[in-house]
Amino acid sequence: MTDRAGRPRRRRPSAPGPDDAWLVEVADGASRDAGGVPVQLLGDYLLLLADAAIDGRQVKKRELDAVGRLGRQAAEQGISAGRVVQLYLSAARRLWQDLPMVVRSRDREAVRAAASAVLQVVDKAVATLAEGYADARRDLVRREETLRRELIDDLLRGDSDLGTLVERAEPFGLDLAQSHQVALAAPSRRLPDADTAITALEAVVFDRLGDRDVLVATKDGLLVVIAPAEPPAGPAPSAMEAGNELGGLMHSELSRLPRGRPWRVAVGRAHPGLYGIARSYEEAREALTMAGRLNSDSPVTNAHDLLVYRVLLRDQPAMADLVQAVLTPLAQARGGAAPLLDTLDAYFATGTVATASAKRLHVSVRTVTYRLDRVKALTGYDPADPAHRFTLQAAVIGAKMLNWPQEPLPVPG
C-alpha cells in the first residue's frame, strides 16, 4: 500500500519488529539512485521484500501482477527500462543494508534464509517488471506504427483535412509547411521482409537527413520515404541533385540486403506544403512505371529527368496517332515489330553509331544495318537522315511508353 505521495505506507511487519518508517527512506534513496524515477513505481515492492526478509513469505501471483502493471506504467511514462530496473535493484540493496536489527541480529542460518527469500522476491519481481515493460513497449510500437501508416496513407492521398493532418504529423516531427519529396523503392519481386528493409532505410536516411521530418513505410508493395527537400545544414542542392542523392542513398543501402535485388528506385520532385507530398508521390509512381517501360539502365530514376516524356504523353491520343502512322508498318517484318524497335532504340541511344548499337544489342553490325534498312523500307523514314530522325525517335519513345506492340494502341475516344 502507498500513501498519497506514492510512498510505502508505514505499517507493522508481519513479525515483531520496529516501525517500518525506514522503508520510506529506502524508497526515496532508490529513487535518487535511479535518477529521480517516481517512487510510485515501487508500489508494494518494499513491503514484499520486508515480509520476505522477516517472515520468509513468498510473493503471490496477484502481487506479481501488480508489479507487471507498474512496468507497463513506466513504459507509458517514457521512463527507460534501465532506470526502472535500477530503481528496483537499488531498493533491494538499500533495504537489505537497512534491515531492522531484529532481522540482522539473527543467527547465520536465519540471515541466510532471509537473504534467499529476499533474492527470490527480487528475481521474480524484476522479471515481471521487465515483462510488463516490454509488453507495453510492444503495444506502443504497434500503435505508433498504425498511426504512422494511416498518416502516410492520408499524406500520399492528399485529400484529407489539413488541420487534422498537421496535428497528426507533429508527433512524427513532420513540418507540413516545408517542401518534401517522396521516393519509392520497388523490389524485383514481392517485397521481402518489409521490417528489415524499413529498418535499414531508416538508419541510413536518418544518419544523412536527421530523424526529424522523415517517414519510412510501405504502401502497395513499395517502400516509401517522405523526406525534406533540403538537408538540415549546408547549401541547398538543385532539384536534380537532391533527387539523385536520396535515390542513390536508398538504392545503395537496399542493395546490401540479401533479398529484393535488383531494386528500382524513383524519386519525385520536391514540392511545398501538404499537397506537395501527394504530388511528389504521384510523380515517383509515374517515374517507376515509365522507367520500366523505357527499359532504363539506371536503377535510380529522378522524375525531374522524365519531364520531357510527361510532355510527350500529355496528349496521349496524338502520341498513339504518331505511333500508328509511323511504326505500325514494322509489324509486317519477320519476327514482328519488337526487334526493329529495339534496334532503333539502341541506335538513337548510342548517338546513331551502328557498331555501338550492335554491341549494346549483342548482335553483329551487319544485323543492325540490315534492320535499319528494313525500317526505312517499311516506314519510309530513314533513321540515318536527320530530317527523319526526330520523328522516328519520338515515335519509338511513344511506343515504349504506350507499351506497344505488347499492348494494342489506345483507341481514340
Minimum mean pLDDT range among 162-176, 206-220, 258-272: 206-220
The C-alpha cell at 69 is 502493471
Region of poorest pLDDT, from 54-58, 210-214, 270-274, 348-352 = 210-214
pLDDT at 70: 95
Class of domain 315-401: mainly alpha
Burial class (CB in 10 A: 0-12, 13-18, 19+), 388: middle
- DSSP code of residue 2: B
Closest Cα partner for 181 from 303, 311, 296? 303
The highest-confidence range among 85-99, 210-224, 229-243, by mean pLDDT, is 85-99
Q: Which amino acid is at 19?
A: D
pLDDT for 344: 95
- In the predicted structure, residue 210 carries a pLDDT above the cut 70: no
Residue 317 has pLDDT above 80, yes or no: yes
Say how far apart CA 13 and CA 15 lie, in whole Å. Answer: 5
Q: 116 pLDDT exceeds 50?
A: yes
| Residue 2 confidence (pLDDT) above 60 | no
| Measured distance CA(370)–CA(377) in Å, rounded | 11
Angstrom CA distances, 113 to 36, 51, 120, stand at 32, 12, 11
For residue 199, the model assigns a pLDDT of 82
Domain 165-306 and domain 315-401, same fold? Reply is: no
pLDDT band at residue 283 under the 50/70/90 scheme: very high
Q: Does residue 191 register a pLDDT over 80?
A: no
pLDDT of residue 7: 44
**pLDDT value of position 15:** 35
Domain coordinates in residue numbering, the chain:
22-139, 165-306, 315-401
Determine the average pLDDT of the residues in 349-358: 93
Taken in order 119, 123, 128, 134, is the CA torsion positive or negative?
positive
Q: Closest Cα partner for 209 from 158, 145, 253, 167? A: 253
- Model confidence over 319-336: pLDDT tens digits? 899 999 999 999 999 889
| d(C-alpha 376, C-alpha 397), whole Å | 18
More confident position, 294 or 232: 294
**Quick check: 242 and 230 in contact, CB under 8 A?**
yes
Identify the pLDDT of residue 342: 93
Q: Name the residue with higher pLDDT: 192 or 352.
A: 352
Q: What is the pLDDT of residues 362-404, one digit of tens each?
A: 999 999 999 999 999 999 999 999 889 999 999 998 898 888 9
For helices 162-169 and 108-157, give the axis angle rounded to 10 degrees. 150
Residues near 261 by Cβ (< 8 Å), separated by ≥ 6?
187, 188, 254, 255
Could you give phi then psi for residue 229, rounded to 5 degrees?
-75, -20
Name which of 380, 352, 388 is nearest 368 in CA terms.
352
Q: Identify the residue with better confidence: 105 or 197.
A: 197
Q: Sorting pLDDT into bands at 50, 70 and 90, what band is 5? A: very low
Q: How confident is the model at residue 268 (pLDDT cuts 50, 70, 90)?
A: very high
Q: Which one has a higher pLDDT value, 236 or 16? A: 236
Q: Which residue has the cell 532504340?
A: 345
pLDDT at 293: 79
Q: What average pLDDT does this structure show over 283-297?
A: 86
**Which tens digits make up the pLDDT trace of 337-350?**
999 999 999 999 99
Which residue type is seen at 197?
A: A
pLDDT band at 8 (very low <50, low <70, confident <90, very high): very low
- pLDDT value at position 266? 94
Mean pLDDT of 287-308: 85
Distant-in-sequence, close-in-space partners of 179: CB < 8 Å, separation ≥ 6: 228, 229, 230, 270, 271, 272, 273, 276
- The CB-based long-range contact list for 380-386 (8 Å cut-off, 24+ gap) reads 381/326, 383/344, 383/347, 383/348, 383/352, 384/352
pLDDT at 296: 80
Please report the pLDDT score of residue 243 as a whole number: 56
Per the CATH hierarchy, to which homologous superfamily does domain 165-306 belong? Reverse transcriptase/Diguanylate cyclase domain (3.30.70.270)
Question: What pLDDT, in 10s, does the model give residues 219-262?
Answer: 888 999 998 886 544 455 555 555 578 888 899 988 888 887 88
Q: What is the mean pLDDT of the chain?
A: 84
Whether residue 269 is predicted with pLDDT greater than 50 in this model: the reply is yes
